[in-house]
Amino acid sequence: MDLDAVTKQSVLHAKPDGLILQYGTAGFRTKAEHLDHVMFRMGLLAVLRSKQTKSTIGVMVTASHNPEEDNGVKLVDPLGEMLAASWEEHATCLANAEEQHLPRVLVDISEKAAVDLHQDAFVVIGRDTRPSSERLSQSVIDGVTVLGGQFYDYGLLTTPQLHYMVFCRNSNGQYGKATVEGYYQKLSLAFVELTKQAFCRGDDHRTLKVDCANGIGALKLAEMKHYFCPGLSVQLFNDGTKGKLNHLCGADFVKSHQKPPQGIEMRANERCCSFDGDADRIVYYYHDADGQFHLIDGDKIATLISSFLKELLLEIGDGLSLGVVQTAYANGSSTRYLEEVMKVPVYCTKTGVKHLHHKAQEFDIGVYFEANGHGTVLFSKAAETKIKQLAKESEDEKRKAAKMLENIIDLFNQTIGDAISDMLVIEAILALKGLTVQQWDALYTDLPNRQLKVKVADRQVISTTDAERQVVKPPGLQEAINDLVKKYRLSRAFVRPSGTEDIVRVYAEADSQENTDSLAYEVSLAVFQLAGGIGERPQRGF
Ligand code: 16G
Ligand code: MG
């Protein structure tokens, strides 16, 4: 390591005094103007990680659903997975080191992680459409080059596409070609194969309206859409030509406000969906004939997909295990439906893709979705081998089911959740089952729910257990929540410190919207009083 060169370059990417940031569930994320030094340093870290794993490492510059002024950065590990937890700590140390300590921290990390400094390093970089992203990804490149790493800059990519590229490169092209073209071909081929057996329907059923959050999803879908036409025709809205990224649109807006995005023309019973700013989340929705808005969130997506997979697994009859992984935010009705009607085992983990991903790996086939629309399906190596073998050998019906499963394996970006993959799988299932969006929605009825935010002096005073469903500290808060929950029917509430914002999140559900809103308010007040609330007290009616 040429530490003198690092010190010289680092001055050009100086860390603002006193700024402390944490590598959280979504990497580093804050106002773009505070991130130049973090980007440079993540370039350095990616080189060390690449040398240590002797593999290509990815760096994605994005702040997903956050406002356009924000930005962020995440590292992608060799198998296209999120960065290993021990390296999140290294990332935090490196990002927060004062200028004069930077060389020492680099040496420390190299020693602790037993990095072979003579090894070559290769880093691939992607970025979203934010105005700040191009400049910030240049800072990543500066970091990579000063430590002697090689790099390839993909430029504009969705987050899942960068994960895909990393995995392709580390599997010698076996997973697919490490190009955008390769990604389009792999997914659309599987989609066309899978939907071959769908019966013919009217043209209107094949159209899907997509709100692209004025983000990268618009550019990539525009490039990709002719690959799966005429099987599916997508109409793009909020494509970034006019509106601001994530402003009054996108999956996060639709899910948290439970209303349609601006900038999309919805007619009664038309199927619509929204991506988030980096296209790793998706939610569906429609207006019924009375003009009422219906949201189909990640829970209902998981239900649709797992019921289809379960049918196929029954058909091949090979005893492969299927499990669904959710978080505490999953609507109580979805959990009940999955367990009691579909008889599928359901597990709850902490919020954040890496936790769900980890749990889903325990099954032959693990379906995981957060209610916010972040999710995918993982197939174990053994399941994949079995399915591929059956698709070649067995008799007719079994073979048909195995072939479909094979296409589904190819369709899901097996690295992390991908809005484009999810959309294609959902569209294929709806076509194959001849289901309308209303029929899908009618699988079960969501319990009314409400999410609120509370400002506190230090959100770390709250600690939780049981996959964030119970508060351990501060004392008395869980008892207060228990007493409030008892007042309502079908009720549930929990609180947790956010991993991405400086606030505490409150979730409540109950038998009616009115009761849900009361419960959410009362729990917010308990948090404010017992966990050091600051600013304005929570108000009833929001
Ligand atoms: C991040 C997570 C997302 C989670 C959200 C929760 C990843 C890639 N992203 O965006 O899964 O739902 O954080 O945010 O893990 P919160 O901690 O502010 O509620
Ligand atoms: Mg996202």
Whole-number pLDDT of residue 85: 93
Per-residue model confidence as pLDDT tens digits over 89-132: 999 999 999 999 999 999 999 999 999 999 999 999 999 999 99
Q: Are residues 8 and 146 in the same domain?
A: yes
Whole-number pLDDT of residue 26: 85
Residue 224 neighbours by CB under 8 Å, 6+ apart? 184, 187, 188, 420
Task: Give yes or no for residue 498 CB within 6 A of ligand 1.
Answer: yes
Whole-number pLDDT of residue 25: 82
In a domain, 432, yes or no: no
Test site for ligand 1: of 82, 276, 353, 462, most ligand atoms within 8 A of the Cβ? 353
Residue 303 has pLDDT above 60, yes or no: yes
Task: Give yes or no for residue 252 CB within 6 A of ligand 1.
Answer: no
Residue 201 has pLDDT above 80, yes or no: no
Average pLDDT over residues 503-508: 96
Q: Are residues 36 and 147 in the same domain?
A: yes
In a domain, 375, yes or no: yes
The annotation places the binding site for Mg(2+) at 64, 276, 278, 280
Q: Are residues 234 and 140 in the same domain?
A: no
Whole-number pLDDT of residue 200: 54
* Ligand 2: centre distance to CA 525 (Å): 30
Distance from C-alpha of 33 to C-alpha of 67, rounded to nearest angstrom: 13
Q: Are residues 25 and 127 in the same domain?
A: yes
Q: Are residues 134 and 226 in the same domain?
A: no
Whole-number pLDDT of residue 138: 98
Task: Give yes or no for residue 538 CB within 6 A of ligand 1.
Answer: no
Nearest CA residue ID for atom 19, ligand 1: 498
Average pLDDT, the chain: 95
Test site for ligand 1: of 73, 351, 459, most ligand atoms within 8 A of the Cβ? 351
Whole-number pLDDT of residue 173: 86
Per-residue model confidence as pLDDT tens digits over 306-347: 999 999 999 998 789 999 999 999 999 999 999 999 999 999
Whole-number pLDDT of residue 542: 62
Average pLDDT over residues 184-201: 85
In a domain, 387, yes or no: yes
* Alpha-carbon separation of residue 505 from 71, 196, 496, 497, 538 (angstroms): 22, 45, 5, 6, 12
Residue written as token pair 């049918």: 311
Distance from C-alpha of 347 to C-alpha of 448, rounded to nearest angstrom: 22
| Closest by CA position to 65, among listed 492, 525, 419, 518 | 419
Average pLDDT over residues 202-227: 89
Residue of 10, 50, 64, 139 marked catalytic = 64
* Ligand 1: centre distance to CA 67 (Å): 15
Give me the CATH number covering residue 10: 3.40.120.10
Average pLDDT over residues 483-491: 97
- pTM for the whole structure: 0.95
Residue 65 neighbours by CB under 8 Å, 6+ apart? 213, 246, 250, 251, 252, 253, 276, 277, 278, 281
Whole-number pLDDT of residue 198: 75
Task: Give yes or no for residue 478 CB within 6 A of ligand 1.
Answer: no
In a domain, 285, yes or no: yes
Whole-number pLDDT of residue 413: 76
In a domain, 170, yes or no: no
> Where in the sequence is the domain holding 60, given as residue range(s)?
3-156
Percent of the chain with pLDDT over 90: 92
Average pLDDT over residues 20-24: 92
Q: Are residues 457 and 396 in the same domain?
A: no
Distance from C-alpha of 503 to C-alpha of 200, rounded to nearest angstrom: 50
Note the maximum CA span of the chain. 68
The annotation places the binding site at 64, 276, 278, 280, 370-372, 496-500, 505
Q: Are residues 135 and 33 in the same domain?
A: yes
Residue 366, helix vs strand vs coil = strand
Q: How many domains does the chain have?
A: 4
Q: Which two tokens stand for residue 242?
A: 């006019």
Task: Give yes or no for residue 351 CB within 6 A of ligand 1.
Answer: yes
Average pLDDT over residues 50-57: 98
Nearest CA residue ID for atom 2, ligand 1: 352
Strand partners, 91: none
In a domain, 444, yes or no: no
Nearest CA residue ID for atom 5, ligand 1: 352
* Ligand 1: centre distance to CA 25 (Å): 6
pLDDT category at 202 given cuts 50, 70, 90 is low
The number of CA neighbours under 13 Å toward the Cβ of 249 is 30
Residue 205 has pLDDT above 70, yes or no: no
Q: Are residues 397 and 507 in the same domain?
A: no
* Ligand 2: centre distance to CA 45 (Å): 22
Could you confirm whether 421 is annotated as catalytic?
no
Percent of the chain with pLDDT over 70: 99
CA 174 from chain centre, in angstroms, equals 24
Give me the CATH number covering residue 240: 3.40.120
* Ligand 2: centre distance to CA 510 (Å): 28
pLDDT category at 438 given cuts 50, 70, 90 is very high
* Ligand 2: centre distance to CA 40 (Å): 22
Task: Give yes or no for residue 26 CB within 6 A of ligand 1.
Answer: yes
Nearest CA residue ID for atom 12, ligand 1: 352
Task: Give yes or no for residue 350 CB within 6 A of ligand 1.
Answer: no
Q: Are residues 137 and 31 in the same domain?
A: yes
In a domain, 503, yes or no: yes
In a domain, 317, yes or no: yes
Q: Among 223-232, 401-410, 515-524, which is the least confidently predicted range?
A: 223-232
Q: Are residues 453 and 401 in the same domain?
A: no
Whole-number pLDDT of residue 228: 85
Q: Are residues 490 and 515 in the same domain?
A: yes
Residue 443, helix vs strand vs coil = coil
Index of the ligand 1 atom closest to the CA of residue 280: 8
Show which of 296, 315, 333 is a domain's final residue: 296
Task: Give yes or no for residue 384 CB within 6 A of ligand 1.
Answer: no
Q: Are residues 382 and 407 in the same domain?
A: yes
